[in-house]
Structure 1
């Protein structure tokens, strides 16, 4: 990686959305080269092009150049303006793929964000709308973003979709708060939602019963609701899934979700998700895997102060390392990892804020 012609040059398609979000927040131009250059189908995929269109619609003055082969892109960011947008998501990715990065931009916009996303609401390869609602929005509250809502207007299961989700962010802040989450939370309540579209309502209850059987010995209060969708609001395809959330008294949450595949049984899905939640509780600090990247973004654009979060050693994986590299490349902030003195299985991740201020709001 090098810097040429005032653009930060990055390589490959990994962390595509994160790099563009970091560039937008920092105001720095990026050039991403060798995007799937060795693949049989080189260049940008349809969902990445769709994301670029979305980014263009919520910013003013952004300039995007894509090479003839689609393997190189130059992005010069403009000002985040937000406003009312309707975005049709391709069926290759669920709406969560597009909502997640928008959560990182929405609080630092000129106008309030009001985006309606149309497409698939839950899929196994990306964060679903329930996990965003239960897991990411509460984390944003910790950083001072208090009024951000996600409404599921229609459910849309794989493969045809037909779902609609409304993201509304009324909280415009100049700078995120500095976070110090170094204590491992004790979880007292397990909540969740089991949904189904265009199938028998009993499927949701079967998932709930299976999950409750696994979670009963924990001694936690278990409250899982059935979310049955019928008629026009249930999308175009049959499907089901379950999202479970462990919640502490101080408002920290860990999320696990699964979507039913072809020939999978609701009981197996409920049991698997409950077991995964237990694993997630054991192998997470204050911040879970789902929430780690958004936490790092808010930490790096915070005040010039050092924020700290407690993470489990198993959370230090390729995904985290690549994200920290991109943060260092674009913002120049380097994370420091130190072993927790009280428990060798946990680490304290420290990251200094860059002193970001909401330029878009000043212009308003």
Structure 2
């Protein structure tokens, strides 16, 4: 076996896109100076977990991380896909952080992918799993991805700080994607949504729905927001609640906004406090996320802010 030639990169910026494109092109990469000057240098737990996820779905993938985590070598393998795969995403970042690159990789696997992801399903940092189900997956159909075999099933909820959620992702394989010219944003024709609550009163969901509808009912009549209250093992390990909304246009565009309310992770707070801070009232949550969705609509465009991964196209040129 000959000597491997690695493409050398620096820093932690756009790490997911770099790994995604390296895997799709089969380009070995060496990334150095990862937060080398930070108080806590090196890769974060969710970034290490992402590398382990790539190993799970690939055959022949090899990762070498130095002791400080400030440098690693990544030798991509063949994305095999397969059934009954399992990956624990941890609680450093939500499952949505892993879904964004995983969905793209799954489309080009050798076999259809079916994987169970464990961790946090809803938080305020990453797009929630409801948004992937209601917005991201329908958007993929615009590019020729078949509906059959494309599914995201939420089996249990999990919010910070302790997670406990599980989802089952199924992705079919495609030979190629269809190029589209997508510039007609259309007019809003309906709004759909779902609220969730875990280890709190189900009345929180009704309050969020009433607050959101109080804003939308002035604009259009076709507004339906469903509830998803979880209890017992399906409620995860921490209390929380939230809402995900999507506006569908006459031209088939989907514009989404979501949020979740829960107690902070240990690394999200600047000081250690034994008393838990009071959570945002559900009425305020409903009003705020409705306003955020209206802001997304006002900005225009065929996709919302969460689905604009502009760095991918520029990085692709870097790998050519």
The CA deviation at 1:207 is: 0.1
Q: Deviations over 1:150-177 (max 9, x none)?
A: 00001112211111100011x2111111
Give 2:315's match in structure 1, choosing from 322, 326, 333: 326
Query: CA–CA distance in 2 between the matches of 1:23 and 1:220?
Result: 47
> Can you list the C-alpha shifts for 1:6-52, whole angstroms capped at 9, x where unaligned?
43222211111111011111111222111111111111111111111
Equivalent residues in 2 for 1:223-302, closer than 5 Å: 223-261=224-262, 262-293=278-309
Q: Say which SS state the counterpart of residue 274 (structure 1) adopts.
A: helix
Q: Secondary structure at the match of 1:200?
A: coil
Deviates more, 1:253-262 or 1:48-57: 253-262
Equivalenced residues, count? 299
Aligned partner of residue 181 in structure 1, secondary structure: coil
Equivalences for residues 150-165 of structure 1 within 5 A: 150-165=152-167
Aligned to 2:213: 212
Other-structure match for 2:68: 69
Give the TM-score, by structure 2 length.
Answer: 0.90
2:266 is aligned to: none
For 1:217 and 1:10, locate their aligned partners in 2 and report how far apart those are by CA, in whole Å: 51
Query: Which sections of structure 1, spanning at least 5 residues, go unmatched?
Result: 294-319, 333-364
- In structure 2, what is the Cα distance between the partners aligned to 1:325 and 1:139? 21
Matched-pair contact (CA < 8 Å) for 1:139–1:291: no
Aligned positions of 1:109-188 closer than 5 A: 109-146=109-146, 147=148, 148-169=150-171, 171-188=172-189
2:31 is matched with which residue?
Answer: 32
Secondary structure of the corresponding residue to residue 196 of structure 1: strand
Cα contact 1:142–1:179 (8 A) shared by 2: yes
Q: What TM-score, normalized to structure 1?
A: 0.79
Q: Aligned ranges for residues 337-356 of structure 1 at < 5 Å? A: none
Per the alignment, residue 47 of structure 1 pairs with 46
Residues 125-166 of structure 1, C-alpha deviations (whole Å, 9 max, x = no match): 111100111121011111111231000001112211111100
Contact map agreement 2:184 2:251 (CA 8 A) in 1? no
Unaligned runs of 5+ in 2: 263-277
Q: Secondary structure of the residue that 1:260 maps to in structure 2?
A: strand
Give the drift of 1:220: 4.5
Post-superposition Cα deviations, 1:91-124, rounded to whole Å, max 9, x if no partner, equal: 1111111122110111111111111011111111
Q: Which runs of 4+ in 1 moved over 4 A?
A: none
Say which SS state the counterpart of residue 217 (structure 2) adopts: helix
Shift of 1:85: 1.0
Residues of 2 paired with 1:204 and 1:213: CA distance?
14
